[in-house]
Structures are given as structure tokens and as C-alpha cells.
Chains A and B, each alone.
Chain A
Amino acid sequence: MKTYQKIGWICLLVVHLGIIVSFNLLGLQKYNDEEVYNQLSPRGQKVYSAIQPYFTSRIPSFLVPYAHLAGTDTGYTLFSPNVPSAMSVAFELSNPLGDTVAVLPTLNTREGTDRFYVNFNTYKSVEEMRTLLAFSWGVRTMEIYPGYTDVAVVLGSHRKPSMKDYRHGVQSHFVESARYEFTLND
């Protein structure tokens, strides 16, 4: 490798890693939201408050396409600060005769079904899209189960008891958080 190539590579390395750091610092900004902040431990809140002023608040727009291409336009904070209660969805289908059936998301492959649960990331983070997403899931489910004219998309989360509560007999339970109802027009 020639010297100029070496210098070029080191510059690229610095910029590349710098972008990863920036996106992660940007991702940590979400801890500023009251809901997330309250999940931090008391020591975590102190540490976060001390370091938060140094975080990036925005990424220069010209770097975004590069980061997208490099797959680095994301933070790596899965399951943090805590492991959240898992969301779930069920569809209640009914027809004019009064027949009702409840089904879970139906995809054809195991991988596809697993990946359906990723939808909840967007559902949770983009409030404006919730009804649209529920509508889209509901319509697809009606296409898979023809003959039904109404669908209720029931969303909720599985509340898992702590280990201590579980030892005392408390079981996990489903808490409904939202219900969207759609009717097929003629």
C-alpha cells in the first residue's frame, strides 16, 4: 500500500467509526424521554444526566446516505435500558351471521412470523402511524381469512411478573392496550 492510500484508509476508518459513535449517541438521546428516563436506575439517572449534554442531537444530513449504505444508521441499544413487556396482537374476525373467530398473525414461515413482531417497534415509536398499521394488518388478515366482514385488531402487552412474584404464584397476563375496529365496505 502506498502512503497516500494508507492515509486515505485511516481517514475513512476515523470517519466510519465516528459515524457509528454519532448514531449511537443520538440513539441514547431517547433516554431523555420521561418514560425511558424513569426506567433508569438511580445511579443510571445520575450518570446519564452527567454525560447527556455531550451527546449528538443531530447527524449532518450529508452523512446519512453513507450511514444507510454502511448499515450503521442505527443505535445498538436493543433490550436497553430494560427488557420491555412484549407486545402482541390478535385479530377478532366476524361476519354478519355473528360467527366470530380470533386469530394470531398468520405468516407462512417461522422467520416471517418472528419478524412480524418487529412491526411493534414502529407501532410503539411512531404514534401517528398506529391506526394505519392496525388497518394494514387487519386488511391482510381479512384477505387470508375470506368471508368475514369485520375485524377488530386487539393490541396489548404480556406483563411478566418478577421472579419473586412468579415464585409466589403470580402468572404473566395479557393487558389490552388498544383496539381498532374496521368494517369491510361493499
Chain B
Amino acid sequence: MNKLQIRTALDQFFFAPVSGSILAFFRVAVALFCMAKFLSFRGDILNMFGSYGFVRTEITEILLSDFKPRLSWFTDAGATIGMGEVAAIYTLYVLFLLVLVALALGIQSRLMAILALFLHLTFFNSGRMFMYGVDYFTTSALFYCALFPVGNFGTLRQIRKRGFDTTLTMPVIYLRTLQGHLCLVYFFGGIGKALGNHWWNGEAIWRAVSIPGFYQIDMSWLASVPWLSLVLGVGVLLLECGYPLFMNIRKTRPLFLVLIITMHAGIGIVMGLWYFAILMILLNGVGYGYPWIIQWLTRFTSRKASLLTVSSAPEKSKVASSPQ
């Protein structure tokens, strides 16, 4: 391989054109996911984020660096104009939901993505003690919405003008960034587990399915089929440690993608961590399943377009055959 060939191969790997419709899908899906997640604990806003919630603001803020956005910036500012803490928190909450609606519709996408990221971090930091993996991944997803040109594809304005155009392209590097992130997530997750012994003897699965708080269905029968826990435990190790390799080999990718999605769906069903499961499936789908999503989007939009053509055809003929 000479220099030119290497350069061409690298250029192809990082900057080959792919349909930008995948970024439209990502933008809408992330915005809807965030809305669903925040709506799911709407009844606990004050319990989680209020200064007199389960964790007092002064306790939460002990662990926060000065630069990290937090609700007290706004509640203190609101107090100077006579706005109470509850009103300030709910105002920000509603504003966040409105920003997410605008992001989903593609109205000022970059600005909305930056605002959504900032507001998400504000709630995230103020309710720090209640936040876990899914919230870190949501921050990353919103960060990618702010970084990638998600507003160039499938916005409301574009759709109203010329329909959903799946032929517009973008360089694949945006997806490579997400792919790299996912590879590291699974690889380090797998390595950390592989150093212990619970994942090698099946005890990890046995313990994970019965954690109080995440307990969904009675899985005590697993004790009588210990080989199943062992297979599942070693399977998780293989999936996570092997992710960077097997997801990047074209032939093994579909199988690995299905297995990863199955693993996350299993976590959702057995542990009730549905938001975590949905977000990970979404990120994997966009990162590695994008050719299939693009195909589906293209088929969906062309079918919709042909339906519109068919339904508008009688209208035209009606006009043409009218006595006028």
C-alpha cells in the first residue's frame, strides 16, 4: 500500500458520505427520549431537585465543582425578582421540555441542543445523588446533538418544503465518533467485570436479577439451573470485551448488534431499567445499525410519498373532470 492508497482508505473510513437522515433520526429520538425520561419523574421534581428534597441542596453542592451548572444559580436569581424556588424549578423544567420539542422539530437545532445540554446538566448536577449511567449517556447524546450538524437534515421546515429528503449526505465521521465512544464503553465495562470472579461463575447474574429496588420478576428458579447464569455471565463478558472487535467486522456485526440489543432488552425486562435499555439500544442502533435505519427511513418516506401521490391523484382528476 502506498501513501496515496493509505490516505484514500483513511479518507473513505472517516469521511465517506452517508445519508444524513440518520442524524435527523438521532436528533428526534434523543429529544423524545429526554422528554420521556424527565416526564417519568415529574411527580418527584421537588423530592429530587428541591432544596428541601430528599437530599438538601447544600449537601449536593458540597460535591459540585464551581463551574458546574446547578439549579441554585436560577433559584437565587429568581429570588431577586420575587420568584419562589418551586416556581423557578418548574419554570426551568417546562422550559427544558419546550427546548426538547423544538430540538425534535429541528427549530434552531444547534441552539436548542446547546440549551438542552445546559439545562440537562443543570438538573443532573442538582439531583446528582439520583443520577446514574443513563443520565451520563443522555448528556453525551445531547452533547453529540450540539456537536453534529443534526439540524441540516429532516427539520420541520425542510419537510414542509420538500418532504423528508434521505438523499442529503454527511461525512461518516460523526458516526465514527459515536462508534468509538461505544467501543470504549463496552470494552472498559467488560474488562472491569472480567477481573472479578462473579461474572465467570454465574453469581453476577444471580445477584443482579434480585437487587431490591430493581426487582421485577421472580428469577429464583435460576438457582436450579446454575449453568444458565454461568452462560449468561460469560456471554456478557464476551459481548462487552469483544464489542470493539466484532462490531467492526462487517460479517459479525449484525449478530453482535442483535445480541447487544437483546442484552439491553433483558436488562430492561428483568431489572426494570427501561430508560437505560432504550437509550443504549438507540445509541447502538444509530452507531452501528445506521444502514438498516437509513434503509427503513427511505422505505418509510417513499411509501408515505407514494401514498400521498395516490391520495392526491383523485383530487387532480376531480379538478380536471370538473365542468369548469
Interface of A toward B, CB cutoff 8 Å: 1, 6, 9-10, 13, 16-17, 20-21, 24, 27-28, 31, 39-41, 44-45, 47-48, 64-65, 68-83, 85-86, 88, 105, 107-119, 121-122, 126, 129, 132-133, 136-137, 139-140, 143, 158, 160, 162-164, 166-167, 172
| CB atoms of A160 and B206 under 8 A apart | yes
Tell which of A114, A136, A162, A172 touches B213, judged by Cβ atoms closer than 8 Å: A114
Q: How far, in whole Å, are A9 and B175 apart by their CA atoms in the complex?
A: 12
Which residues of chain B are within 8 angstroms of A82 by Cβ–Cβ distance?
A: 196-199, 203-204, 207
**Are B171 and A69 within 8 A (Cβ)?**
no
State the CA gap A36–B177 with chains docked (Å).
32
Q: Are A133 and B59 in contact (CB under 8 A)?
A: yes
The 10 A-B pairs of least Cβ separation, nearest first, read A81-B196, A71-B139, A112-B44, A80-B192, A44-B195, A77-B192, A108-B43, A71-B140, A41-B197, A82-B198
Do residues A166 and B223 form an inter-chain contact, with CB atoms below 8 A?
A: yes
The complex places the Cα of A96 from the Cα of B54 at a distance, in Å, of 24
In the complex, what residue of chain A is closest to B130 when comparing beta carbons?
A115
CB-CB under 8 A for A20 and B47, given A76-B189, A118-B131, A133-B55: no
Q: Tell which of B59, B62, B189 touches A77, judged by Cβ atoms closer than 8 Å.
A: B189
Q: Do B189 and A6 touch (CB < 8 A)?
A: no
Closest residue to A84 on the B side, CB-wise?
A: B207
Cβ contact within 8 Å between A39 and B196:
yes
Q: How far is the CB of B235 from chain A (nearest CB, A)?
A: 14
Q: With A41-B197, A115-B41 as known contacts, state yes or no: A78 contacts B47, CB within 8 Å.
A: no
Contact of A65 among B48, B67, B131, B272 (CB under 8 A): B67
Q: Which of A68, A143, A166 contacts B52 (CB 8 A)?
A: A143
Q: Given A24-B184, A79-B204, A122-B63, A69 and B121 touching (CB < 8 A)?
A: yes
Question: A95 to B100, alpha carbons, bound, how many Å?
Answer: 46
Chain A-chain B contacts (Cβ-Cβ < 8 Å), number = 224
Chain B, Cβ-Cβ closest to A118 = B132
A172 vs B52: C-alpha distance when bound (angstroms): 35
Chain B residues closer than 8 Å to A13, beta-carbon distance:
173, 176-177, 180
Say whether, besides A77-B189, A136-B59, A86 and B195 are in contact (CB < 8 Å): no
The residues of A that contact B14 with a CB separation of less than 8 Å are: 6, 9-10
- Residues of A within 8 Å of B200, CB to CB, are 41
Alpha-carbon gap, A24 to B191, bound state (A): 10
Q: Quick check: B41 and A111 within 8 Å, CB to CB?
A: yes
**Chain A binding surface SS class:** helix
Question: Judging by beta carbons under 8 Å apart, are B195 and A160 in contact?
Answer: no
A41 touches B143 (CB 8 A): no
Given A65-B67, A122-B63, A160-B206, are A70 and B139 neighbors across the interface (CB < 8 Å)? yes
Contact A132-B192, Cβ < 8 Å, known A20-B181, A109-B40, A118-B129:
no
How many residues on chain B are close to A (CB under 8 Å)? 79
Q: CA of A17 to CA of B212 in the docked complex: distance in angstroms?
A: 35
**Inter-chain pairs besides A13-B180, A80-B192, 17 sampled, C-beta below 8 Å:** A1-B15, A20-B184, A44-B194, A72-B181, A81-B197, A82-B198, A83-B203, A88-B212, A107-B44, A111-B37, A116-B54, A116-B130, A118-B132, A133-B55, A133-B129, A137-B54, A160-B206
Question: Within 8 Å of chain A (Cβ to Cβ): is B70?
Answer: no
Instruction: Choose among A77, A86, A109, A137 the residue that contacts B44 (Cβ–Cβ < 8 A).
Output: A109
**A166, B220: Cβ atoms closer than 8 Å:** yes
Assess the A70–B180 pair: CB atoms within 8 A: no
Contact mask B130-164 → A, CB, 8 Å, 1/0? 11110011111111000000000000000000000
Nearest Cβ distance between residue A70 and chain B, in whole angstroms?
5
Interface code B44-72, partner A: CB below 8 Å = 1, 0 otherwise?
Answer: 10011000111110010011010110000
CB <8 Å contact, B41 and A112:
yes
27 interchain pairs, CB-CB under 8 A = A1-B15, A6-B173, A10-B14, A17-B181, A20-B185, A39-B196, A41-B197, A65-B67, A69-B139, A71-B138, A71-B143, A72-B181, A77-B188, A79-B193, A79-B204, A80-B192, A83-B204, A86-B212, A107-B43, A108-B44, A116-B130, A119-B55, A121-B132, A133-B59, A163-B206, A163-B229, A167-B224
Q: B320 interface residue, CB < 8 Å from A?
A: no
Which residues of chain B come closer than 8 Å to A112, judged between CB atoms? Answer: 41, 43-44, 47-48, 130
Nearest CB to that of B144 among chain A residues? A70
Chain A's nearest CB lies how many Å from the CB of B240? Answer: 9
Interface centre among B184, B207, B226, B275 (most CB of A within 10 A): B207
Is B214 in the interface zone, CB < 8 Å from A? yes
B208 on interface, CB distance cutoff 8 Å: yes
Instruction: State whether B223 touches A167 (Cβ < 8 A).
Output: yes
* A144–chain B nearest beta-carbon distance, Å: 9
Report the bound CA distance from A167 to B220 in whole Å: 10
